[in-house]
Chains A and B, each alone.
Chain A
């Protein structure tokens, strides 16, 4: 069967090869455009995140998929679950808002803590930072899918697995003629 797949490829002329490459490009582009569309629609730079630690159990477990929105008008209230990034670090953290201070002009500073942690998040913030601001927020959790994100965690922990899967998918699309 492997041989017949490559035979098909050898018989393709220039235009068909170009079309195969474009088909691959279109699949990648479709995924990309859906992601960018979600970014624009929800207002968040990362509309779908995976819960990476067990600090929010029993609400969220490691591997759960979260759907976020980040609209300008939304206020951050105590008790809400927000996803934020600490300045200088790339990893999004999913925790609950503990305290909120509001100024007259509408600017906010807030403190977070994971449900399953015994202390608040000040240890996680940047050195000297005691509060978070709206700009650190990636979004507020609006919905979730349990366990679906385990695949993402696996792919990040075993990069070879990720490259292997992507390579196989890529080769299959490039070779298979519709």
Chain B
């Protein structure tokens, strides 16, 4: 998360203080906390492809719009008609693609990470974390999925807890409480891994 975290491992993580009444801020803060626990504490490597694809779709859409703006400025309206039709059509098509992508592909996933085997023997496991919080509900559901590098099997586990269990009265996210909950999930998935 913050750069000072990664540099000094023994320094206490930066305190995340949020406005506890703002639901989206709370969910984002909890997501950040979980990400912090998985990445810096356990040394998973974050895989950015999912986010990067979304960024690319957005960038291309904005690029198309800017191109239409510049072209129309250089060749005033009636002349620029065909280009404008193409750009408008293209832009809304990309918007549709983006919506489909975020709804069906991403589905609340905020972290994809690789766990590399320190011994270098097994191939990496892919961990995916996604979270969900209903609009006016305080229940925060975290779903953790691990996909084994070797046999490609995936196991899922989740917890559904009130966000009040992780955030104290002042709006400070208690990372140690987040850690213990995430830890339980990770252990249950890892033990399943060793069995199969």
- A: residues with CB less than 8 A from B are 1, 4, 7-8, 10-11, 13, 15, 18-19, 22-23, 25-26, 28-30, 32-33, 36-37, 39-40, 45, 176-178
Contact = CB atoms under 8 A, between A and B. Distances in A.
Task: State the majority secondary structure of interface residues on A.
Answer: helix
Contact of A1 (B16, B19, B64, B76): B19
Nearest to B31: A177
B91 interface: yes
14 contacts: A10-B2, A11-B32, A15-B52, A22-B59, A23-B58, A26-B58, A29-B66, A32-B69, A33-B87, A37-B88, A45-B76, A176-B24, A177-B24, A177-B28
A124 B66 CA distance: 36
Contact of A39 (B1, B84, B92): B84
B169 to A, nearest CB: 15
Nearest to B19: A4
Nearest to A135: B78
Contact of A32 (B19, B28, B68): B68
Nearest to B17: A7
Interface residues of B, number: 38
B58 A22 contact: yes
A140 to B, nearest CB: 16
Nearest to A13: B1
B84 A11 contact: no
B177 interface: no
B34 interface: no
Given A13-B1, A36-B87, A178-B24, A22 B62 contact: yes
A29 B64 CA distance: 9
A19 B58 contact: yes
